A = this chain, B = another copy of it.
Amino acid sequence: MSQSISNQESETENPGQVSIKDVARLADVSIATVSRCLNHPDRVRENTRARVQQAILKTGYSPNTLAQSFRRGKTQVIMVVLPSIGDPFFTEVMKGIRSVASSRGYSLLISETQFNTMTDDEIGAMVVSRQADGIVLLASMSPFGTEVLSSKSHQALPIVIGCENITPDLAGFPSVRIDNVAAAREATDYLIALGHRKIAFIHGQMSSLLTRERERGYRASMRAADLPIEDRWVVEGKLSIQGAIQATRKLLNHDHNPTAIFCANDEMAMGCIHEIKSSGLKIPKDISIIGFDDIRYAEILDPPLTTIRQPAEKIGERVMHRLLLEVEAGRSRNGQVEIVPHELIIRESTGPGNV
C-alpha cells in the first residue's frame, strides 16, 4: 500500500541494479556515509562501517563505475591505440604497459587502427572524449592526426607515443622508442661487414614512419660503404606475410639477385624466408636475411633469424610511466624523446657474402 516510489522502481525497472540508496536504507545511514565507507573508511566509525559492510554484502552492491567516473571526472582507464592486435611485437610492448598500469590501478582500453581504417567517429566520439584519462599511441596517426588530437576539447588529454616516430603533427608529445635509423644502419653495416654488396630492403607501406626511418638507416649505411642501391632492391609490400612473399618474389625475379635482404620487420622476414626456400635457394648460403624486432618466433625460424632486438616490454613500461606522470601529476608536455637501446641479435640466417 504505502511502499515508497523508489521501491517500486527498483523492483520493476532495474531488477538486480542495486544502488547506493538501497545500501543506505538497509544500513540505516545516509548515502554519504556509504560512500565514505568505500572511499575513506578511516573517517567512519567502526560500528557504522560494519553495518554498512553488512548491507553491501547482503545487497550485492557494487558501485556504478559510470557514475563514479562521471562524478570524479576521471576513469582510471588508459587507452592504448595500436595498429593491430595479434602483432607479436606489440604483444610484448603491451606486457610492459599492462604491468605498470595494473600496479597503479589503471585499466586498459585497447583500440586497433587496423592500419588506419579508424574513423573520426571511432576515435573522436568514443576515445578521446573523456572515456580515458590518457592515451598511449603505438601507431602512427595519419588517419586523424592533427584534427582530433589538437581539437580544443582534447587539448589537455595526456598522450605518450611508443615505438612510432613522431610526425610533424605529433611533435610536442613525449615518446619512447629505439633509434630506428641507427638500428637499421647497424643491421645493414653487419651485412656489409659479412662481405655483402648487393643488399635489398623489403618494407611495408610507406605511410609508416617506422619504415621510413629504417629505410633511411639502410640507405645511410650503403652510402657510407660506397655501395650502390638499385631501385628494384628497395621493394614495398603489404605489411604481412603475404605482402613479404610478393615482395620477395619481385626481388628474385631477375638475373643478378641481391645476396642479402634486410626486412623491415620479423613478420615480413618470415614471409621472405618462406619464399626464398620455396624458390630453391638456401639461407644463408645463397642469400642472407636479417629482420627487425626479435619477436618470439625469430629464434625458432628455420634458420633462426638474425635481427634487431627492441626492448619491447621495457618500452611499454617506460611509456606508461611517463603517461601516468602526466595523468596524475598534471605534468605538462615536454615533448621529450626517450631513446632506449636496441641490440643486434646474430643467429643463422646471415652468413658471408660470396664476394
Contacts and interface: CB of A to CB of B under 8 A. Distances in A.
A65 B131 contact: yes
A127 B107 CA distance: 9
Nearest to A109: B109
Contacts of A60: 151-153
Interface stretch (A10-18, A46-54, A199-207): A10-18
B62 A156 contact: no
Contacts of A277: 302
A99 to B, nearest CB: 10
A284 to B, nearest CB: 15
A124 interface: yes
A70 interface: yes
Copies per complex of this chain: 2
A302 B94 CA distance: 29
Interface stretch (A24-32, A82-90, A184-192): A82-90
A154 to B, nearest CB: 7
Given A64-B130, A110-B85, A153 B297 contact: no
A262 to B, nearest CB: 19
Contacts of A15: 155-156
Contacts of A17: 153, 156
B110 A153 contact: no
Closest CB pairs A-B (n = 9): A86-B91, A60-B152, A274-B300, A16-B155, A110-B110, A70-B70, A65-B129, A107-B126, A66-B70
5 contacts: A60-B152, A65-B129, A66-B69, A241-B296, A241-B297
